[in-house]
Each structure stands twice: as C-alpha cells, then as structure tokens.
Structure 1
Amino acid sequence: MTERLALVMIVRNEGDHLSACLNSAKDAVDEIIIVDTGSTDDTVSIARQYTQQVYSYQWRDDFAAARNFALSLTTCEWVLSLDADEVLSKTSSLRSLITNSAHTAFHLPLHALKNEDNVLEYDRFMVLRLFRSYYRFHGSIHEFIKVDTPAEIGHAQLPVIIHTPVQALERHHRRNRNIRLLKHALKKNSADPCLHYYLGTEWLGLGRIDTSIGLFRQALSQLPSQQEAFRTATIRHLIHCYKNTGRLDEGLCLCLEESQNYSEYCDLFFDGGVLFELKEEYGIALKWFQAAVQLPEPPLSFFHTDGTNSYLAYYHLGFCAEKLGLYKEAQHYYEQALAANNAYYYPLYPLILLKLTHQSAEAVLDFLRTSGHFACREIAVSMAELFWTAGFPDIALSCLEESACGLPASIELLARCQFYTGKAECALLSLDDLRHNNHEPAADIVIDEISALLLLGRFTEARQRVWGLWRRKSSRDSFWAAFGLYKKLAHNRLITLPSPLAAAALLALAERCTRNRSAYNSQKDFARIVTTITELLHTRADYWELLINDLNQKEAALKQHLAYTFSACRDLLR
C-alpha cells in the first residue's frame, strides 16, 4: 500500500509568503494541515484556498507544543514540515524517499538565500523536516524532532528547501522574541550547547558581536565531535565574529586548529584565506584559497556556504593575484569565477579593467555581449558605470541601451552618456521622461542639462533650470556654478563665484567635458564649456589655484593609471 504524505505547518501573519510556500509543495503531498497561532492579516483566508484543514491554536510561547498539535491532526504516515517563508524545489524526489524506506526520518538540505533575487548565493544547512508522523517535536524554541536511533535518519540531497529572507523589521521582531524564549529555555537547561549556539546567532543578527563570541565559545567547548552540523556552524560563526571585530589572529588560530580536525572542509580554508587577505598577506592568502578550490563540497551534515570552493574562492584568488602584480593569473581566476557562477558578477568589474589594459573598449563590449552578461540589467548598469568612469561614455551608452533599464539612477546615467556623446537632444528627452515620473535629477546632472540647453541656444529653458537649482536649498553651490555658465554663455558676462564649492562643481563639469566621445563637429562645444569654466575660475586667485591643483592631481592619477596599465599589459601578454 502506498504510504501517504502530509504537509504540516504552523503559521502566524504570513500573508506575504504563504502562497509561494504552498504552491511549491501542494502537488507533492496528499494532505495539507495548517495551524494558525493568531494571525491578524489574510493568512487564514490564503490557507483556506489550498486546504479546508485550517485550525486555530492559542499561542503559549512554545513552538514544539504548537507543532505537535498540528501533527496530531494528520492521518498520513509521513510528514513534511515547512515554514511559510520557505519553498520546496524538485518535489518529485519526495515519493522516492518515503517509498519502502529503511529510514524513519530524513535530513533535507536548506538553502538560506543571501539575497532574495539570487538563488545561487546561499548557506546550506541540513534540517530534519521529513519524518514518520509518530515522531514529536521537543523544545519551546528552535524545536527539533528527536530520533533515538541515529541510523534511522537518512540524508537526502533532494528536495531542497529554499529559505527566503524576511523584511528587516520582521526579522528584528523575530530575533527579540527568540532571545526571550531562548533565555527562558537556558534557565531550565543551561548545559545545552545548542541553546548557547542559537542564542549566539540571534545576538549576532542584532549586531551584538561580543555577546555572540562568548556564547559561540561556550557552545564550541561543549559540542561533541559527532555533532558536525552544530560544530561546523559554530566554528564558522565564531570566525565571522573575529573577522568583523578585527581579531584576525584569533580567527586564524581557530582556522588552523579546526582545519586539523576537518582537513577537507573547504569553508575553513576559504575563511582562512579571507583573514590573511584582510591582513594584506596576499601570498599566504593565495595558498589558502587554492587549497579551498581543490577540495570537494563538504558532507551534507556540514554547514556550508555555496561557492567557498568555487566562484567565491576564485574571485578572491583574482583579487590577491592582482594585488601581487600577477595580472595574467588574476584575469584567469576572475574568468573561472564567472564560469562557475555567471550570476555572481563581482569578478566582472576587475576583469573588465584588466581587459581594458590590452583590448579596445569596443572589443570588451563585444565580450560582454557574447558572454550574455547583459541579460542581467544590474550587470549592464554596473558595466555602464565602469565605462563611464573609465572615460568611455559611448560604450557606457551601449551598455545601457542593451539593458533597457528604467531605474532613475540608470536614466540619469543614460542622459549623461547621451550628452557626452554629442546627443544633447536625446539627453534632454531622457531627463524630461524622468521628471514625468516624479523624479528630480541630481544637481550635477542638472548642471549637465543646463550645459546642453546653453549649447543648443535654448536660453530661456536653461534659465528655468538654473533657478530650479536655487529652489533646492541643498544645491545652492550648484546653482552658482550653473548661474555663472548661464551668464557667460547667454549674456557674455562674467560673475565672481561666491564659494569654493561652486568652483569645485565647475571643475567637475570640466573634467566630464574632457572625457566626451562626441563627433568631431561637437568637440568645439565641449571646448567652449571648458574655456568658459577657465574664465570663471580666473576671476579669483584662489579659484585659479584650485584649477592648478586639480590639473596636478589629474597628472598624478594619469601617471598612476599608466603605470598600472602597462604593468598589467606586460604581464597579461607575456
């Protein structure tokens, strides 16, 4: 006879998450039982769209009691337990686990997402969520299913439970509730290392790192070696605390000590590499990261951060190699990081900078197109910002046109790139669209806009934008910079700027003009703006000194950039 499977849940005010959870699991189970512990939102009405077995339970600050009440309501032989902010993937594997199984319970992998929009960045835990219905939960907080014979517990790779982050306010509320319940539980059983671990994680989430360190140390001193899930999680949380408080040597001592106990635990070698990297000991860090990528993923029972033996480690290898002047190796590592996880785009920025040392900007743009990176709007906008900063507004414009992103910040950059590629009319239209969507551009963007209007001879509109800056009290220095331009270009009159910050705003505009990539016949327009700025700064000796200092800084930056470029180019082409 086929054994039946029930999804059993307790919920409270989970209207934002419940539908996604139930949709992910409803076709894999024979019965859904939902116990509500006091919702004030639409949780109950959503639950009733999926099952008639929706019950109420008076909350008593005891998670195990509530879950056991829910368990008592099922008639199925097996139970799947989920929280409302979780979804289940690859559900077809559930039936194969429970059919003629020698086990009475299963640990399933839980992927705790770092970012709700990216399912490829997560921490992995193993959690006992699939079990025969005669088992019961224990513990008022961080409740668990107690199985007396460990051999009866199986470890499954599928299905995967995906935990999505909750909003910060709700997360803060849950942590405060959990701390209260954990303190109460510790009064009853102060020797339980797992309670110390859980309390440490809650305080860590609230930023109380010193408190967390004491709790993690206590848990680690008491946890037996066979409790790998808790020991490995405690070790890594403690290393994280040491890193974030600058106690790098203590973190390294822990890495060295525990890597002797867990010689194939890639996460430990990754953490050690990060600590050496923070100490700027890049050569040693390289060796630790290289050790990490040579190791397999740890056993399922180990706490594991995805990517510590692949894309995360390769990214850090690239960073360390670049710091050591090993540019060819750095490029190779960045490429390996992207190959391991194309959605992890952080290596793309330094990779593009390296490519620009020996390839044309157009060739690098073709690389981005053919490698499919523009499929992600966030990447396209980031690359546009990179090319703009590197002095290629035309290539930046191509990136933005590829992404068709409508975010205000990207539209501002789009308008700026249009202007500095000689497409002033297009830039003005883009900013008009932005305002029609009730977003006022940043002050420096408005200065670009005023410059475009002045070059087009649209003096009345330019004057309106100038006085628009005056009405923003925080933009008075930008107003004076724009007003000086307007007076000179529209009326051929020089004014003396009232503040060094206004002069600095004009210097920034001059710098943007020098990076323009417009057609030859538009070059004279940008030269005209730069000439006007020079005349305005010449009205006071201290402003002229600002201009000289700015030119000296640009000269030094150019020399540094050329030194880096030629060093990288020599290494990449050797």
Structure 2
Amino acid sequence: MVTVSLCMIVKNEEEKLATCLDCLKDLVDEMIIVDTGSTDKTIEIAKSYGAKVFQFEWTGSFSDARNYSFEQATCDFIYTADADETIDEENRERFKQLKEDIDLLDIDVVQMYYCNQLSHNTVYNFDRELRPKLFRRLRKYVWHDPIHEMVKLDSTVCNSEVEIWHNPTEDHGERDLSAFRRAVREGEYISKRLHNMYARELFMVGTEEDFMLSKEFFEESIADNGRDLDQIKEAACVLAHIAVIDGKTEEILKYSLKDLTTIPSSEMCYELGNFYRKKGDLDEAIVWYYNAAYETSPILDIHRGGDMAMHKIAECYRELGNLDLAEDYENEANKWEIPSGEKQQAIL
C-alpha cells in the first residue's frame, strides 16, 4: 500500500481544522501543516494530531505556500486539503481502497469529486466537479497563479469516485478580488483560466466599485492580440456592465457587439436588459432579459441565464402593470434550479 502525505496551508482555522483532520488522520501517513500567520489555536490543534507544522511568511500567492508544503512531504503521494473540507465514512472507505489499488497502477495524479461548490457564492457554476487531489510525490509539481492556484503538470491521471465535501463558512469573494487586483498591479500575467475566474467572481460577488477597479485590466485585455475569443467575450461582458453603470451608450454598443457578433451570451443580453430598463424602455428590456433566460447560454454566471433574468422580467411586467405575467415569471424564477450536470474538470 502506498503512503500519503497530507499537505495543507492554513491561517486562523481553529474552528474547522479539527473536523477536517478527524476525517483524514487514519487515511494519511504524515501531516504537513504550513501556517501563514495564525493568531488563534490553529497551530496547537495541528500539533495535537501529530502534524509537522512549518511557518511560512505570506507572499500574497497561494501557489508559493502550496509549493513550500509539497517540499516538506516525504511519502509516496501527496494529498492536498483545505480546512473546510470533510470526507464522510463511505468516501473514507473509498479512499482507503484507493491507497491499495493505486500501488498496482502507473498513476501520477488522482482526481476526486469536489462537492457543495455552490454554497456561499463560490466562483463555480457546478455543484460537483473533478479536481486533482492526490499527486505522486517524486514527480515535479509546481503550483502557479497567485489565487485559485493550479498545478502545472503533464501526467497520467485517473478519476476516482471519492467525494470531498466543501463546507465554507465565509465568503472569500472580496479577498479573492483583492488578490486579483494585486496580481495585476504587480505585473503578473493573468492566465486564461484566471481571466475567466476574475470575470466570474466579479459577476457573482463583485460590487460596482470592484467592477470599476477592474476596468483598466479588462480594457487592456480586450485589446490584447494574445487573448482568444473566450477571453475577449469575458472582457466585453465586464466592460459592458461597467458601461451600463456609467450610462455610456457608445461603450455599451461597442462591447455588446463584440459578444453579439459571435454566439451571444446570457450575460450580455442581461446587461442590455439592464441598459434599456434604466432608459425606461421596459418592453425592450423584457426582450433582452428573455433572450438571457431562454435563448442564450451563460459564460460566466449561470444565474444570469436563469433565475436572475426571470426575476427581472417579472419586475418589468410589474412596473408595466401586467401583474399576471409578473406573477408567472416570478413563480418560474422561484422554481428554477441550477442544471444538475457536473463539470469534468480538465487539468491536462
């Protein structure tokens, strides 16, 4: 049977750490806890489980801390976890069986299902997705991106049936948006993956101020010949939202055309609905909200292609005095559910 090093980075996790480690203490052979500046009982709790605790001066990059934690591991495989994760008994048994089976296979990375993704306004549009969680130690894995960090790899990957429950107790949206802005200020190139996440996080949890603070970056992005169509459309959606906030009609036209001349997105249709509603043209606003909800697909925020657009239609009909249609769309919005399809996370 292979041995497994648990590698975690933590800061002030006294409320959650013990619950997480209780699930893992008999699944792993070594616990590596990298602390980035706790002022509570986090370190004391970690040591009570026999963990090797290392201090790491925070650099502003989660990848730097992840890489440091990997450097301390000594077992065959490395398992990464956050303090707000738990594994139930059924999946603990799957994990134990995986440790026996993997020794017979030429596997470098094992993906596991990350569940409960949609709680607390996380940046994801799927409630269950595959993520790389278990890594063969003797290969060279390097974390990259200063936030929502990922591993660069070219490896043999297998998908397991192990499910990990994500139990966030706080919204990290403002922390993450601040990290994006810091990375931009420091001149770090924002990868395609992070470009998408930055835009998504803005639409899901960003304030008007957050959008305005992102304007310069997305203006440069949309003019960057190195960005592909997906990134141009993402930037156009962000900039169109900012133009609606500012009431700049020419910019709304400019950015909406960059999206609508390809396959229109729900987000852009939603923004055009907002634009016409602010102008007092409720009939035209309804047309665009309807397109957002029923005729197009979202690229950033699944709610703008579903319940949010339906609620907006209901509000417009209510303002027009058509209470029957307003009630119909309100009921449809309240019954709307996020599509159940899970995301097969591509990591290669």
TM-score under structure 1 normalisation?
A: 0.43
| Match in the other structure for 2:344 | none
Question: Are the aligned partners of 2:240 and 2:268 in contact in 1 as well (CA < 8 Å)?
Answer: no
Give the letter for the 2:34 counterpart.
V
Q: Distance in 1 between matches of 2:319 and 2:21?
A: 49
Larger RCO: Structure 1 or Structure 2 (Cα < 8 Å, ≥ 6 residues apart)? 2
Q: Distance in 1 between matches of 2:311 and 2:13?
A: 37
**Gap runs ≥5 in structure 1:** 114-118, 342-574
Secondary structure of the 1:124 match is coil
| Match in the other structure for 1:12 | 11
Question: Are the aligned partners of 1:293 and 1:313 in contact in 2 as well (CA < 8 Å)?
Answer: yes
| Match in the other structure for 1:219 | 221
| Match in the other structure for 1:286 | 286
Question: What is the deviation of 1:15?
Answer: 3.0
**Gap runs ≥5 in structure 2:** 338-348
Q: Aligned pairs, how many?
A: 315
- Trace 1:380-529 onto structure 2 (pairs within 5 A): none
Give the letter for the 2:242 counterpart.
C
Q: Distance in 2 between matches of 1:132 and 1:178?
A: 27
Question: What is the deviation of 1:256?
Answer: 4.0
Q: Distance in 1 between matches of 2:143 and 2:275?
A: 39
Q: Distance in 1 between matches of 2:120 and 2:37?
A: 34
Q: Which structure carries more helix by proportion?
A: 1
- The structure 1 residue matched to 2:326, chosen from 325, 330, 333, is 330
Q: 1:48 to 1:77 in 2, by over 3 A?
A: same
Q: Distance in 2 between matches of 1:253 and 1:160?
A: 43
Q: Distance in 2 between matches of 1:48 and 1:68?
A: 21
Give the letter for the 2:42 counterpart.
T
Give the letter for the 1:138 counterpart.
H
Question: Are the aligned partners of 1:28 and 1:92 in contact in 2 as well (CA < 8 Å)?
Answer: no
- The structure 2 residue matched to 1:138, chosen from 120, 141, 144, is 144
| Match in the other structure for 1:383 | none
Deviation string for 1:474-505 (max 9, x for gaps)?
xxxxxxxxxxxxxxxxxxxxxxxxxxxxxxxx
- The structure 1 residue matched to 2:53, chosen from 31, 52, 55, is 55
Question: Are the aligned partners of 2:267 and 2:304 in contact in 1 as well (CA < 8 Å)?
Answer: yes
| Match in the other structure for 2:246 | 245
- Trace 1:205-354 onto structure 2 (pairs within 5 A): 207=209, 209-222=211-224, 224-225=227-228, 228=230, 234-247=235-248, 250-251=251-252, 253-263=254-264, 265-294=265-294, 302-303=299-300, 305-340=301-336
Secondary structure of the 1:294 match is helix
Q: 1:316 to 1:11 in 2, by over 3 A?
A: same
Q: For the aligned residues, what is the CA RMSD? A: 4.8
Q: Distance in 2 between matches of 1:142 and 1:205?
A: 20
Question: What is the deviation of 1:213?
Answer: 0.6
| Match in the other structure for 1:165 | 170
Give aligned-pair identity as a percent.
19
Question: Are the aligned partners of 1:14 and 1:43 in contact in 2 as well (CA < 8 Å)?
Answer: yes
Question: What is the deviation of 1:137?
Answer: 0.9
Question: Are the aligned partners of 1:89 and 1:162 in contact in 2 as well (CA < 8 Å)?
Answer: no
Question: What is the deviation of 1:192?
Answer: 6.4
Question: What is the deviation of 1:225?
Answer: 2.9
Q: 1:59 to 1:129 in 2, by over 3 A?
A: farther
Question: What is the deviation of 1:70?
Answer: 1.1
| Match in the other structure for 2:153 | 147
Deviation string for 1:301-351 (max 9, x for gaps)?
x53x3433332222112112223333221111111122226xxxxxxxxxx
Give the letter for the 1:261 counterpart.
T
Which structure's CA Rg is the greater one? 1
Q: Distance in 1 between matches of 2:26 and 2:260?
A: 41
| Match in the other structure for 1:510 | none
Give the letter for the 1:336 counterpart.
E
Q: 1:101 to 1:14 in 2, by over 3 A?
A: same
Q: Which moved more, 1:92-101 or 1:59-68?
A: 92-101
Give the letter for the 1:165 counterpart.
E
Question: What is the deviation of 1:161?
Answer: 4.5
Question: What is the deviation of 1:297?
Answer: 6.3
Deviation string for 1:252-273 (max 9, x for gaps)?
543442244344x434433433
Q: Which structure carries more strand by proportion?
A: 2
Q: 1:335 to 1:131 in 2, by over 3 A?
A: same
